[in-house]
Structure 1
Amino acid sequence: MSQVRDDRLDPGLLRLIGVTLLGGIMGILDSTMVTVAADTLADEFNTSLSSISWATTGYLLALTVTIPVTSWAVGRFGVRKLWLFGLVLFLVGSLASALAWNVGSLVAFRVVQGVGAGVVDPLVLVILARAAGPSRAGRVMGMMGVVLSLGPVLGPVLGGVVLESMGWRSMFYINLPIGIVAVLLALRVIPAGPPVARGSGPRLDIVGALLMAPGFAAILLALTEAGERARFAAPSVLIPLVLGVALLVGYVIHALRARRTEPLIDIRLFSSRSFAASVTVQGLVGLATFAVLFALPLYYQVLHGHGARAAGLLVAPLGLGSALAMPLAGRLSDRLGARNLVRGGAVVAALASVGLTRIGADSGEVWSVLAAFAVGLGLGGVGAPTMGSLYRTLPPEKVPQGSSVVYNLNQLGGALGVACVALILAAVGSGAAAGDGAGIGGFQGAYWFVFAVTLVILAASPLLPGRPEAPTAAQADASSADGSAMAHQ
């Protein structure tokens, strides 16, 4: 029987991708955009920076707690209803945050935003993975990766521009027109899916939710505190870290013993080498990306004297490199598989990281910009094929669970990357008193850390799937029909 491969994206699927990414980009931008307004908000509410930091920390914790429950709610309520609910909740939180009257109300409303983002963010992956089908998973995930790559980089830049030109409340008001358009388009484009009868669908694993969601949140809080304090040996770090690990160990035991209810995340998924390798590599990509995102702006500010906005613009090539590499690498992975592409991307990122370690205090910005761009290219070449391989090998009914795992590990990886770089800068680059050229040794140590992460990715690459089998004509027609049906429903 002849074998064919059809990776074409019909107009209906392209519309679905555009509408989905429009809704998802708000949460991605908001997770970093508000950080640039910390000083302004502290003055506005006459409070400390540590209190204001909870506006960001509360958002991230709420997002992290919500993501595992979202994977269950997909089967209970359907994707479309859940997507619209998440968008509306995010808009309500945005409007309320813009109207906040003190730091307490701001933190509370940011938590509402975080819950909305925790519903929407993993659904982006679920919607696109189901619509794309296995044969086009890499290509579609590559397109989604553009948003994921540019979001963390452009968030602070956009936040600085809006803050300086329109004030801090506009950083939340700006979500309203985008969100309203996203809701109206979603009503037309997001497929309704099969009807879900009241009371049908899986029962919520309440014990699992009480173990997993707080467990992830506690570890994220510990890593965030470690990054802010630049040390792990502090009660505010160790207590939530130990608690989080204990809760997750408890969840693993519970999930393996569960009989009456389906666990939020089926731990047996990790028995698949491809799944375990894919989610691990994706977490490492988040770790390396946020490590560079944390170190580079400080390098420009501390050693070159640039302001926050200029430093943010100089970091943008990192996201640009990743955004350029992801669509191409994702499309190639549908034909070539993930293994060799990830290997090549890891080598590029490793060499670029070594280049960053050679930059001194007096080096021109052009060299660090080029090196950051190359790091982005390399990590983009890793990320899209890895995501594609994950959704090619995951059973369709497990896609929501896989999306939950990917998002949570990416969050934890990013927080761990920031914490590790903060520790390295504090230990190695304590300043001119250390005699290392105004702290350049600390930044070089941070880039060596990124290099080590890329080596781990390289070592894990053989565990990823190789060239995918070409589908038969009947399979290709079925996959294309499924994707078109979802896009046009």
Structure 2
Amino acid sequence: MPTAPTAEDSPAALGPAPGQLGRILAVVITGAVMSVLDMTIVNVALDRLSESFGSPLETIQWTATAYTLALAAVIPAAAWAMGRIGAKRTYLTALSLFTLGSLLAACAWSAGSLIAFRAVQGLGGGLLMPVGMTMVMRAADRDRLGRAMALLGLPVLVGPVAGPVLGGWLVDTASWQWIFLVNLPVGAAALILAAKLLRPDSPLGAAASPRLDLPGLLSLSPGLALLLYGLSRGGESGRFLSPGVLAPLLGGAVLVAAFVRRALRVPEPLLDLRLLCDRTFAAAIGTLAPFTCGYFGSMLLAPVYWQQARGLSASAAGLLVAPVGLVVGTTMQIASRRVDEVAPRRLVPAGVAVAALGMLLAGLRTGTPGVPGWQVVGSLMVMGIGAGMVLMPTMTTAGRDLPAARMAAASTALSINSQLCASVGTALTSVVLGATGTTPAGFRTAYAVAAGLLALSLLPALRLPGRRGRR
């Protein structure tokens, strides 16, 4: 059945001007650096925030949870917003919200106000990744998409390396306000670059723009938020069968199920689930889901290990976490370029195996009292090599052969998958560590669970394309 044209089908959306890719990458990388830095800095500063506001750590952890919930609520609307007002305006809106949220967070006067302002940040942060990825995927030549995505992965190199070090230094030598104020110059630079370098798109009038699937939005966004809320509460308490945890989990599951049922029946759903009929996209999502659970869930462990099990300061913990981020980012740069030339079925499963081995070694090292610190860092660096071989190359493979009109839906689906699975992994890690305690046995068990999750991604990874190029 013929459908009305949408903004994604317009010449401006499908035909980027020469040199536009480089300009888009400059803008998106700047914005992504700000977002990744913020997440890694705040993680290191939770203890200091708890002291500054006189609130228990359980309350201050809601600064991260509120950000996550706002992120989940706004991501589903990314594809519609790009079709309605254009990718450039959507990205400018995301940057403005994130920068404003950073300023407000620095001015917070209580734990409650800080949590509210972090939610404002989350509304902007939730749009940055899917909109930025969509712009890059639309502009890149399919045969060189891996190189473009490698550059898009630069923030993953900068953020995890600079974030813990910068955050630890700011917390130890300055005030907590600076962990948010540091975003302001980067946000201002990103806004100026976006305004000047991005080409206006979506020239169609409002009548031709895609309609908002309001029932879909009202089911998917609250459903995801409830699921993440339940996972966060369960991770904190370790009691997933308590009413305060079970109710939001069940409510979220019902709403998401209702969205899935609707999305498969209406012609213009909020999120195109028919993407999963594409074998490569489905294999990529299946690979990323358990891998993201294990990888991002394990990121909670190292800072806790260095500060609580080894008694180190926030600055020292940041310095010891930084080499892992450096390895992940460097490997990602190499692997994302290689996926343009090497079959994903050869590259990604090898990365899964290396990452699972490194995670298992980290569990054995942290589970041994008095082990030299370099052995723990070395094991995590092995894991980082594997992670760099999996994450961005798999995302590149997922979208390489999709038509341009489906790029926004694909990047939105990848973002939702990443956010939800990272939250599941974090909750699971919190439960394991809460049950076993910050003891050698506790860290050994938590890292072993993470290694098992990474290993689960091996089977879908073997279903990725066996040769490079278009299907």
TM-score by length of 1: 0.87
Cα RMSD after superposing both structures: 2.1
1:338 aligns with one of 339, 344, 358: 344
User: Which of residues 170, 178, 181 is equivalent to 1:162?
Assistant: 170
Q: Kindly indicate whether residue 279 of structure 2 is the aligned counterpart of residue 273 of structure 1.
A: yes
Partner Cα separation in structure 2 for residue 39 and residue 421 of structure 1: 19
Unaligned runs of 5+ in 2: 1-17
User: What is the CA-CA distance between 1:224 and the residue it aligns to?
Assistant: 1.7
The one-character-per-residue Cα deviations of 1:375-420 (angstroms, maximum 9, x if unpaired) are: 0110110112201111113221111111111112111222222222
Q: Which residue of 1 aligns with 2:264?
A: 256
Aligned to 1:389: 397
Deviation at 1:452, TM superposition (A): 1.4
2: CA distance, partners of 1:67 / 1:127: 15
Percent of aligned pairs with the same amino acid: 37
Contact 1:337 1:385 in 2 (8 A): no
User: Structure 1 residues 45, 339: CA separation in 2 closer, same or farther (over 3 Å shift)?
Assistant: same
In structure 2, how many angstroms separate the alpha carbons of the residues matched to 1:38 and 1:442?
Answer: 21
2:340 counterpart SS class: helix
- 2:100 maps to 1:54: no
- What TM-score, normalized to structure 2? 0.90
Aligned equivalent of 2:296: 290
> Would the alpha carbon gap of residues 239 and 153 (structure 1) be closer, same or farther in structure 2, given more than 3 Å must change?
farther
Cα shift at 1:351: 2.1
Query: Which ranges in structure 1 are unaligned for 5 or more consecutive residues?
Result: 1-9, 432-438, 472-489
Paired with 1:446 and 1:51, the residues of 2 have a C-alpha distance of 23
The corresponding residue for 2:251 is: 243
Which residue of the partner structure matches residue 461 of structure 1? Answer: 461
Cα distance in 1 for residues equivalent to 2:441 and 2:417? 29
* Residue 312 (structure 2) aligned to one of 283, 289, 306: 306
What secondary structure, in the 3-state scheme, does the structure 2 residue paired with 1:463 have?
A: coil
- Alpha-carbon distance in structure 2 between the residues aligned to 1:41 and 1:305: 19
Query: Is the 1:361–1:440 Cα contact (8 Å) retained in structure 2?
Result: yes
Q: 439-448 vs 301-310, which deviates more?
A: 301-310
Distance 1:226 1:312 in 2: 27
Counterpart in the other structure of 2:451: 451
Q: Is the 8 A contact 2:101 2:118 kept in 1?
A: yes
Aligned mates of 1:323, 1:281 — CA distance in 2: 19
- Tell me which of 307, 310, 329 is aligned to 1:323: 329
The amino acid of 2:443's aligned partner reads F
Structure 2: how far apart are the matches of 1:189 and 1:374?
38
Q: Distance in 1 between matches of 2:170 and 2:146?
A: 34
Aligned to 1:140: 148
Contact 1:143-1:326 at 8 Å conserved across structures: no
Number of residue pairs the alignment of both structures matches: 452
CA contact 1:346–1:458 (8 Å) conserved in 2 = yes
CA spacing shift, 1:316–1:458, aligned 2, 3 Å:
same
**2:383 maps to 1:375:** yes
Rounded to whole Å, the distance in 2 between the matches of 1:377 and 1:203 is 43
Tell me which moved more, 153-162 or 123-132. 153-162
Residues 318/231 of structure 1: CA separation in 2 closer, same or farther (3 Å cut): farther
User: Does structure 2 conserve the Cα–Cα contact (< 8 Å) formed by 1:255 and 1:266?
Assistant: yes
Asked if the contact 2:84/2:202 (under 8 Å) is kept, the reply is: no
Q: Is the 8 A contact 2:67 2:118 kept in 1?
A: yes
Which one of the candidate residues 92, 111, 133 is aligned to 2:119?
111
Greater alpha carbon shift after TM alignment, 198-207 vs 91-100: 91-100
Match of 1:78 among 79, 86, 89: 86
